[in-house]
């Protein structure tokens, strides 16, 4: 795609083309093509105007934003082994469910902070590292405590307890006044929810026997609301609550969608859209109730779906299968370093394993979400 330096030249060429041939543009098709190009530029270009505006990024959530916390708890939901991390700095498997960086790493770098956001439980980092960014996220967790129980990972409430502990350490490190300023001005990112449906509700009879899909969505939205209120009560003001991606298009779901030729599971995507709508409305209402808050709903669904529907526009060749192993079912320990089927170039793939995006996809999504969401915090 286009680099940041190429944008002005390209825009000049487009502007020149538009004015020179304005009299020839007689159909909406030309305008559609123009807007498509502009959208692709926005998706692929880094948000470079935010540097110095935010002192730290504080992250909560699941495997989409876990940088290795699960390495230090007794769970099988880990990825601290090859080929995970093979495209990370030094080819190091860190516990990120990716071949390289995750979206929050790219966001941190674009904000002028450190190029990665470390995991809070990683003993190789300390409060001086966490002062500019930290993630409390845990792969395989969800809003629902029953979801975190499936693979014995950190529930959302435990992540909040670690955040309280972090505040105490930050005040000791920076001093009370400066730490309070850091807490007030930091950006808080929450990315969670997919596991509640795919690893809990639709995988086990417990919650599905208690709730209809709609009522379960309401149940989860209530937990999200309570979490944001508690976070606000601890001093957080700039909060981005993330929605669900098109989870029916993950390779694992496609592979199990028997009889459709590997199409996306429409029902799961519909549920994601419905849940996102409920979260959006909740955020709009809650933002008016919390004094001094700057609460924004960040929706990954549409930009991710654009990649899935038109992968070649973003330089991808494979969207229905993942890079790792057969690309249909494997993730975590299913992705073994010596599997002969693992692809050699992950940049051609939208997904790294059957559940998680590649580093390239994470980069594109990070830029898209920054361009749509981060201006609200400045």
Closest to 316 (Cα-Cα) out of 40, 29, 10, 93? 40
| 63 given a catalytic annotation | yes
Query: Which residues are within 8 A (CB) of 315 and not within 5 positions of it... i.e. 6 or more apart?
Result: 1, 347, 348, 360
Residue 184 host element (H or E): helix 176-185
Q: Is 372 a catalytic residue?
A: no
Whole-angstrom distance, CA of residue 113 vs CA of residue 234: 23
Q: Is 191 a catalytic residue?
A: no
Environment class of 252 (CB within 10 Å of its CB; exposed 0-12, middle 13-18, buried 19+): buried
- 320 with 328: CB under 8 angstroms? no
Contact, 43 vs 364, CB < 8 A? yes
> Which of 66, 87, 196, 353 is an active site residue?
353
- Closest Cα partner for 130 from 160, 170, 93? 170
Rounded CA-CA distance 257/245 in Å is 18
Which of these is catalytic: 63, 79, 138, 186?
Answer: 63
117 with 59: CB under 8 angstroms? yes
Q: What is the CA radius of gyration of the chain?
A: 21
Active-site annotation holder among 138, 356, 363, 372: 356
User: Whole-angstrom Cα distance, residue 23 to residue 52?
Assistant: 45
State the pairing for strand pair 133-135/57-61.
parallel
Q: Which residues are catalytic?
A: 63, 353, 356
């Amino acid at each position: 795609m286009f680099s940041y330096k190429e944008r002005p030249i390209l825009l000049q060429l487009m502007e020149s083309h538009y004015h020179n041939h304005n009299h020839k543009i007689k159909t909406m098709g030309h305008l559609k093509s123009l807007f498509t190009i502009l959208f692709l530029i926005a998706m692929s270009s880094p948000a470079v105007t935010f540097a110095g505006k935010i002192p730290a990024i504080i992250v909560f959530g699941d495997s989409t934003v876990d940088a290795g916390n699960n390495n230090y708890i007794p769970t099988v939901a880990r990825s601290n082994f090859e080929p995970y991390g093979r495209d990370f700095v030094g080819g190091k498997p860190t516990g990120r469910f990716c071949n390289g960086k995750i979206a929050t790493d790219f966001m941190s770098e674009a904000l002028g902070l450190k190029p990665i956001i470390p995991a809070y439980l990683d003993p190789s980092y300390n409060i001086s590292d966490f002062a500019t960014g930290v993630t409390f996220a845990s792969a395989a967790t969800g809003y629902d405590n029953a979801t975190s129980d499936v693979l014995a990972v950190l529930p959302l409430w435990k992540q909040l307890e670690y955040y309280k502990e972090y505040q105490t350490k930050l005040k000791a490190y920076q001093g009370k006044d400066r730490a309070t300023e850091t807490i007030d001005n930091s950006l808080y990112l929450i990315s969670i929810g997919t596991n509640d449906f795919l690893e809990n509700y639709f995988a086990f009879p417990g919650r599905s026997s208690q709730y209809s899909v709609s009522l379960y969505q309401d149940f989860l939205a209530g937990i999200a609301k309570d979490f944001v209120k508690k976070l606000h009560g601890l001093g957080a003001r700039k909060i981005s609550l993330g929605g669900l991606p098109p989870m029916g298009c993950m390779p694992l779901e496609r592979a199990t969608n028997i009889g459709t030729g590997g199409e996306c599971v429409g029902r799961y995507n519909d549920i994601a859209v419905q849940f996102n709508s409920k979260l959006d409305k909740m955020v709009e209402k809650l933002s008016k109730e919390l004094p001094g808050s700057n609460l924004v709903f960040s929706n990954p669904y549409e930009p991710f779906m654009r990649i899935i529907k038109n992968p070649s526009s973003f330089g991808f060749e494979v969207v229905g299968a993942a890079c790792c192993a057969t690309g249909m079912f494997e993730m975590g320990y299913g992705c073994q370093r010596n599997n002969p089927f693992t692809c050699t170039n992950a940049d051609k793939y939208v997904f790294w394993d059957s559940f998680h995006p590649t580093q390239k996809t994470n980069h594109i999504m990070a830029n898209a979400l920054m361009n749509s969401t981060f201006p609200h915090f400045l």
